[in-house]
Amino acid sequence: MSGLQQPVEVLDSRGQPLRLGRKIGQGGEGTVFEIVGAPETVAKIYSQPMLPQRAEKIRAMAAMRTPEIEKLTAWPTELLLLRSGAPVGLKMPTVVGHKDIHQLYSPKSRRSEFPGADWRFLVRAAANLCRAFATVHEASGVIADVNHGGVLVAQDARVRLIDCDSFQITASGKRYLCDVGVPIFTPPELQGLVFTGLVRTPNHDNFGLAVLIFLMLFMGRHPFAGRYLGTGEMPVERAIREHRFAYGVNHAAAQMQPPPGTAPLNILSAPVVRLFERAFARDAARAGRPTAREWMAALDVLEGELVQCTASSSHWHIAGLQDCPWCRMEGATGVGLFSATASVGATRYFDLDAFWKQITTLEPPGPLPSLVNPVAENRIPLSPYARQFRRRRRFHLPIALFVAALPMAAAFVDLPVLARLFFIVTGIILFVLVKLVLKAQLSTIGFIERERAYREQWEGVLAEWKAKAGPGAFDARRAELERLRGAWRELDEIRSRRMAETAAGKEIRQRRRFLEGFEVADAEVPGLTPSRKSLLESFGIETAADIDEKALYTVPDFGVKLIDDLIAWRAAIERRFRFDASQPDDIQEIDLIEREMLVHRARLEAEFRRGLQDLQQLRNQILFARTSLHGKGQDAYIDNLQAAADLKAVTK
């Protein structure tokens, strides 16, 4: 629809025109716009003409609104029409300050998008999600297309369901279906079916609900995504269809293992474990999965049972566990699961020792493998060119001897001595000449040039090999991280030193605070008239703490006498000051140091994380280069050996 960007006139259900504002979002079905003058509502305009059935559904939905539904969902409030009377979209409440649920359940985005969220928060948000599901179910609705894009969460763990116009609704005895679904939230009994015309039930929803709760409680892991021990691929949909719950009591029989570094099911209280087992059981389609209300009750109890980890204030878990599951996970993976930045002085969540294990288990690429092969070096056969060259050169001597032999033979004939001498000399000259001519025809220049070209090529390849396949870049980055590790350890020392300095400054600060308690305005000093007092104040001299000679001399019209009296006033007050070491120190000072340390730590932590990624990348790049450059290197090496051997053979 071309009118989508600048929609034509849209009317509300009472026939009043609406002014659409900025485009807020775009989905598969349509576009959402602001409504000018009504910031609490938005308009969704469909990109395809609306079927009468769909329009009727929206009207029915608007009619069935209740305060509960409105609190937990972005329920359609009315149908929007074109002036022609054709339905074009719907009006619904604006949901502000909420974020996609995947931002909450993935640890990586949780740290930045939900900085205060710990496991209590996740349990609470999951319980709130159940409230939303229960409300829809009790209004005889079915969410049907349960998925991670349909739930928004606020910073206070309240939840809103969106995309409500796709829900399955029953109103006045008529059922409006939902034609879509997302496989990884679809129960086994519906896997592979066509959703169009399919009647959905709350029991189907309750599968998707259990998956969402699992994602929230288990750090974004899908209950059916595990390590499959059989052969072949095991996509999540297939695992759902075949009831292979990776964390369940039957996981071994299902040939599934939870992924490494994940928490086991028994970090939950027994009642919640039972709910998951029931939700993902083979007979759940028949026997019925836990309802939203059952989940809600169990999660509310769970939240009340949580205790804080003794080691980390951002960790909450059920009581009675041998150790904190989040400490174990963070220790095993080096990943901070929850943000601990909520308060200054919170226990550190970045465990460098645990993280360092990741760095040490990363196997270095090792020394540069050699391209040189001493065995090949001794066995290199001469090239056909060199062999031909040598063959041809072997004939030089016989040919020259043969040519020289003719005049020489004449020397043996009975001739005068002079003539004999002439033939001998002629023979020698001929011999030399023939040898020279033959040699000139067989030049070694070609071999010299070949040798140089291949030597240079080999040198080039060797340099590239050293640069790209050598461990240098990896080792250097690794050494850099070692250095940072030293800096991290020094932080504790720096912190204690700063704290000690603060303690030393404690008396100075206490004295100052004491002096600040005496205002110049109340001072009884001869000659210090009210007008002089206000003059002092305008120069920033307000309390006894501000009195000092230098400052007073800058004030106009203040004589030596008056200045001396003022200093004496201050001294008299100061004599009454008694330092009390037991008094708590200025909290702000300590806060400042702690904050500074946090900043340092955060920066170093980011460096470590980046460093680990770099090491991983460098290692893979080096290993890749070793494979991809090896053939070329070997070829260049052999070519160079060959050219050198040939040259040696022909110049011998």
| Positions marked active-site | 145
Could you tell me if 44 and 162 are in contact, meaning their C-beta atoms sit under 8 angstroms apart? Answer: no
478-to-352, 482, 625 alpha-carbon distances in Å? 15, 6, 19
* 109-128 positions binding another protein, by CB under 8 A: 109
C-beta closer to another protein: residue 355 or 569: 355
Beta strands in 101-179, from DSSP E residues, in sequence order: 151-154, 159-161, 169-171, 174-176
C-beta closer to another protein: residue 87 or 220: 220
Indicate whether 335 belongs to the interface with another protein (CB under 8 A): yes
Residue 556, sorted as left (phi over 0), alpha (psi -120 to 50) or beta, turns out to be beta
* 217-276 positions binding another protein, by CB under 8 A: 219-222, 225-228, 235-237, 246, 257-264
Measured distance CA(580)–CA(535) in Å, rounded: 34
Is residue 507 within a helix (H) or strand (E), and if so which, with residue range? Answer: helix 506-516
C-beta closer to another protein: residue 357 or 511: 357
Shortest Å distance, C-beta 210 to another protein: 17
447-to-70, 382, 515, 639, 646 alpha-carbon distances in Å? 90, 12, 96, 13, 7
Residue of 26, 53, 613, 651 that binds another protein (CB under 8 A): 613
Stretch that binds another protein, among 160-168, 180-188, 290-298, 344-352 (CB under 8 A): 180-188
- Collapsing DSSP to helix, strand or coil, 31 comes out as strand
Stretch that binds another protein, among 31-39, 123-131, 523-531, 628-636 (CB under 8 A): 628-636
* 457-496 positions binding another protein, by CB under 8 A: 464, 468
* 70-109 positions binding another protein, by CB under 8 A: 100, 102-103, 106-109
DSSP string spanning 204-262?
HHHHHHHHHHHHHHTTT--TT--EE-SSS---HHHHHHTT--TTSTTTTTTTEEPPTT-
SS3 content of the chain, % helix, strand, coil (to 5): 55, 10, 35
Residue of 329, 386, 434, 643 that binds another protein (CB under 8 A): 329
Tell me the per-residue interface mask from 547 to 586 with another protein, x by CB under 8 A, - otherwise.
Answer: ----------------------------------------
Shortest Å distance, C-beta 32 to another protein: 16
What is the 8-class DSSP label of residue 168? B
Indicate whether 621 belongs to the interface with another protein (CB under 8 A): yes
Indicate whether 39 belongs to the interface with another protein (CB under 8 A): no
Alpha helices in 51-118 (DSSP H): 52-63, 67-72, 101-105, 107-113
Candidates 136, 68, 130, 71; CA nearest to 98 is 71
Residue of 594, 632, 634, 649 that binds another protein (CB under 8 A): 632
C-beta closer to another protein: residue 192 or 446: 192
C-beta closer to another protein: residue 57 or 221: 221
Shortest Å distance, C-beta 77 to another protein: 27
State the Cα torsion 68-70-73-75 to the nearest 10°.
Answer: 130
* 141-160 positions binding another protein, by CB under 8 A: 149
* 357-396 positions binding another protein, by CB under 8 A: 358, 361-362
Residue of 55, 159, 184, 190 that binds another protein (CB under 8 A): 184
Could you tell me if 213 and 151 are in contact, meaning their C-beta atoms sit under 8 angstroms apart? Answer: no
Measured distance CA(243)–CA(282) in Å, rounded: 6
Shortest Å distance, C-beta 629 to another protein: 7
Shortest Å distance, C-beta 644 to another protein: 24
In this structure, how many other beta carbons lie within 10 angstroms of the beta carbon of residue 285? Answer: 16
Candidates 576, 539, 575; CA nearest to 558 is 539
* 271-310 positions binding another protein, by CB under 8 A: none
Indicate whether 617 belongs to the interface with another protein (CB under 8 A): yes
Residues that bind another protein in the complex, under the rule CB under 8 A? 100, 102-103, 106-109, 149, 182-184, 219-222, 225-228, 235-237, 246, 257-264, 328-329, 332-335, 337, 355, 358, 361-362, 464, 468, 612-613, 616-617, 620-621, 624-625, 627-629, 631-632
